[in-house]
Amino acid sequence: MSALAFLPMDLQHPHLVVVDGSKLVRKVLVGLMAKTLPDAVVTECGSGEQAKAVLMSQPVHLLVTALVLPDMDGDELARFAREHSTQSYFPVIAVSADVQSRLEQRSLSPHVTDYFDKTWGMDALAEFVKGYLAPDEEASGEVLYVEDSKVVAAATTRMMKKHGLGVRHAVSVEDALALLDAGEALPDIILSDVYLKGDLTGMDLLRIVRAERGLGKERLPIVVMTGDADPANQSQLIQLGANDLVQKPIEERLLVTKLLFQLRMGRRNRQRGA
């Protein structure tokens, strides 16, 4: 998952390319995008080759592709977009029903900006895309932020507060667990670094919250920040219960988009379980 700078998103008519071998899936998503982002221009492609032609002929601001296409893998298309497109960097979202297994195996291409699990539904995908092209002006939610660097914590806290999020900061896993056990309402989401002051790491936090406290991904989303590019270590974070990962150094739009999406999914899951 890349943290390179995105194209400026102040365009009046962002161009979204949707690539899927299913005409029905494309029709549903395009219809939802017309409601969610009425000013966007959406191009449908039924194959990777069609998408390549679009990428080479006109500006694209976001590419949404199935991982399984009639003529190639979505990862191959993402690589083509990075290597052959002459325009500025733009996000590539890969959509699949087996995203979780690919995440655990760390088999997603580094050319893919983000992933989306198709089992979450097309409505959720439309909102996910909107988070990249037109993020909410106002956001809400309480973030328990675990970071031991004062400089990094100050900068990242400013990012989150600028987008309307509340932030409770803990400098260690021990402090974060004390806040969780204080009897107050749970935060809406946890954002944590991996390596922290104290005896416990971000991996320990995942293990304790998920296995010992019994708080699943749906009830309390956890996004982990990591500067470790080792696929095996990233895979372990996912297997321990991270909802998502953000690669360091942090890119603001990517971080906020991921947080807002997990917040929306968490609210939806809690409402269904109520």
| CATH 3.40.50.2300 location in the chain | 15-133, 142-273
- Report whether pLDDT(256) > 90: no
User: Which carries the bigger pLDDT value, residue 240 or residue 271?
Assistant: 240
Q: Cα–Cα distance between 194 and 147 in angstroms, integer?
A: 9
- Report whether pLDDT(217) > 80: yes
User: Which carries the bigger pLDDT value, residue 65 or residue 82?
Assistant: 65
Which amino acid is residue 252, in one-letter code?
E
The domain covering 142-273 belongs, at the CATH homologous superfamily level, to Response regulator (3.40.50.2300)
- Report whether pLDDT(129) > 80: yes
Across 99-105, average pLDDT: 66
Query: Would you state the pLDDT for residue 104?
Result: 64
Which of 68-82, 95-109, 189-203, 221-235 has maximum average pLDDT? 189-203
Class of CATH domain 15-133: alpha beta
Query: Would you state the pLDDT for residue 7?
Result: 40
